[in-house]
């Protein structure tokens, strides 16, 4: 095997381990390295050769999760089209990155320790989601009486909750995008024209 082929194989193995770590730790932060190795379909010796310490794998998994989230948002093209359509694309993109989001938001200290300047849930220069929200506010699409940061926090919170519901079997995975979108766009009040069962007391 050539040096190039060897390097490529090593990269694939390392990526498989890191991806498995994100998937496993998204659901069980206490999962052991042997459990991660099993999920990655590699031996324990192989895993320890790439990541001798748990902290090293934890850092690599966090960096990978942030890359996945950032890449999903970028592919949604949040700076293009009507703000509402763009937000719907972002929500759909986030739904495709459920493992990464569950992993990162399950313990936000991971992000602070690994990449404090690119936290996905905090406003940062050129944050594409914040930029989208502010563009929507300027175009009277999103409520400008709320801060862009607050709206973004609600987006992350509702999305994370939807993924939790999927894990508990309370929500179908294919319903995540529609459920999050409906919640953000309509809140929890009845739709226009609906008749409430009882009137609020004065």
The pLDDT of residue 11 is: 85
Burial class (CB in 10 A: 0-12, 13-18, 19+), 57: buried
Look over the chain and give the mean of its residue pLDDT values, rounded to a whole number: 85
pLDDT band at 145 (very low <50, low <70, confident <90, very high): very high
The pLDDT of residue 126 is: 73
Stretch 108-126: mean pLDDT, rounded? 53
The owner of tokens 């400008």 is: 144
Task: Return the structure tokens found at 168.
Answer: 């508990």
> What helix, strand, coil percent values describe the chain, rounded to 5?
70, 0, 30
The Cα–Cα gap between 73 and 71 comes to: 5
Instruction: Name the more confident of 138 and 202.
Output: 138
The owner of tokens 């079997």 is: 169
Q: Tell me if the pTM is above 0.85.
A: no
> HSE-up of 131 (CA within 13 Å, CB side)?
11
State the first-to-last Cα distance of the chain, in angstroms, to the nearest integer: 79
Count of residues for the chain?
Answer: 202
The pLDDT of residue 196 is: 45
Read off the DSSP letter of residue 191.
P
Read off the DSSP letter of residue 139.
T
The Cα–Cα gap between 123 and 190 comes to: 32
């Amino acid at each position: 095997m050539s040096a190039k082929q060897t390097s490529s194989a090593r990269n694939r193995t390392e990526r498989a381990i890191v991806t498995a770590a994100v998937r496993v730790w998204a659901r069980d932060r206490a999962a052991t390295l042997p459990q991660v190795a099993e999920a990655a379909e590699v031996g324990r010796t192989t895993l320890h050769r790439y990541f001798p310490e748990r902290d090293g794998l934890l850092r690599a998994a966090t960096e990978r999760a942030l890359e996945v989230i950032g890449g999903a948002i970028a592919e949604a093209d949040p700076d293009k089209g009507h703000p509402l359509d763009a937000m719907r694309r972002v929500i759909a993109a986030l739904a495709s990155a459920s493992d990464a989001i569950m992993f990162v938001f399950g313990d936000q200290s991971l992000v602070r320790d690994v990449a404090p300047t690119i936290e996905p849930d905090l406003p940062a220069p050129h944050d594409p989601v914040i930029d989208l929200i502010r563009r929507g506010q300027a175009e009277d699409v999103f409520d400008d009486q709320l801060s862009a940061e607050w709206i973004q926090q609600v987006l992350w919170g509702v999305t994370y909750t939807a993924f939790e519901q999927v894990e508990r079997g309370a929500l179908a995975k294919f319903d995540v995008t529609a459920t999050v979108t409906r919640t953000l766009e309509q809140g929890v009040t009845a739709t226009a024209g609906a008749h409430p069962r009882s009137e609020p007391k004065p």
